[in-house]
Structure 1
Amino acid sequence: MLKTICYISDSRSNESIESIKKIYKKAKENNLINNITGILIFHNGNFLQVLEGLEENVDKTFDKIRFDTRHRNIIKVININVEERIFEDYNFGFTVVKSSSEFEELNEYLNWLKNADHQVANKLITMVENFIKTVG
């Protein structure tokens, strides 16, 4: 069964670009191995991440994140079994959104998703849009 978890968290410290790149690289490797798709957004010291995949893999990945010392105040905002992935086609899977052009690309993808009128997708879209509103 497929599952989606979306969480937000605060960074424990001011992450450097190099540190974010290391987080991204490790997350991408792990998620590729575990067939997890989604997005990871870091902005103003906060993370928003969507994880999608087989229930067991998503739960294990989220448990690792919960104990990762780079996070604090982790709030799981969506934890639901789904019939299909939402971000499977976005940049061929897992990505870190880190520039204004990538935010624009993400917005285009979210607008495309809105046309599907999928309830879980619409919740995720709203959350991601609210998270990135301050990005210019």
Structure 2
Amino acid sequence: MYRTIYLSAASHMFSTEDLNAILSVSRRNNQSDGISGLLLYHEGSILQVLEGDQSRVDACFERIKMDGRHRGLLRLFHGKVDRKVFPNWSMGFAWPNDIKDGADASLKGLDQVVKELPSLHSVDRRSAILIRSFFASHGDLAALLVF
């Protein structure tokens, strides 16, 4: 099992429609490649965790590097891991009141991602710290963190 975690800036502020289109294509590609993970987006900042077979994760990361929607892409971690910590593809980008009833179960509010950090920390400390840092770097999201 292999994991890559990267941070980037969006080339422009994504609309809900942009995010839904990204999620749709990502799900299709990642499902066929056996890749899972987490994608966080907030005010132009992107943090993504990709997990799966190393060659497929690396190929996915190379496609992302070439995607004009990203600027300043920085790979924070890549390496072999014991197991997936995000076995189901999920994407957190909306405040809870922006997620409508009946929404896709893999679409999570950022507040829900924060609630899951303690259990994530017990499974993979590095991923939890990087996700926590993403939240801490945004003043409005930092308020969700319990120190």
TM tier, shorter chain?
0.7 to 0.9
1:68-104 Cα offsets, whole Å, 9 max, x none, are 010010000001111211111xxxx111102234223
**CA root-mean-square deviation:** 1.4
* Offset of residue 105 of structure 1: 2.1
Structure 1 letter corresponding to 2:128: I
Tell me if the contact between 2:121 and 2:129 (Cα under 8 Å) persists in the aligned partners.
Answer: no
Tell me if the contact between 1:7 and 1:48 (Cα under 8 Å) persists in the aligned partners.
Answer: yes
**Per chain length, whose mean CA-contact separation is higher, i.e. which structure has more relative contact order (CA < 8 Å, sep 6+)?**
1
Check if 1:113 corresponds to 2:108. Answer: no
Structure 1 letter corresponding to 2:131: V
Name the TM-score, length of structure 2 as normaliser: 0.80
Name the TM-score, length of structure 1 as normaliser: 0.86
Check if 1:132 corresponds to 2:127. Answer: no
Structure 2 letter corresponding to 1:70: R
In the alignment, what sits opposite 2:79? 80
Identity %: 24
Aligned positions of 1:1-136 closer than 5 A: 2-88=1-87, 93-101=88-96, 102-116=109-123, 121-133=124-136, 134=138, 135=141
Q: Counterpart of 2:29 in 1: which secondary structure?
A: helix
* Offset of residue 35 of structure 1: 1.0
Q: Counterpart of 2:14 in 1: which secondary structure?
A: coil
Aligned length: 127
Structure 1 letter corresponding to 2:119: W
Structure 2 letter corresponding to 1:94: W
Segments of 5+ residues of structure 1 without an aligned counterpart are none
Tell me if the contact between 1:28 and 1:95 (Cα under 8 Å) persists in the aligned partners.
Answer: no
Q: Counterpart of 2:84 in 1: which secondary structure?
A: coil
Greater than 3 Å deviation, 4+ residue runs: none
Aligned mates of 2:20, 2:41 — CA distance in 1: 11
1:27-80 Cα offsets, whole Å, 9 max, x none, are 111111111111001111011000000111100100000000100100000011
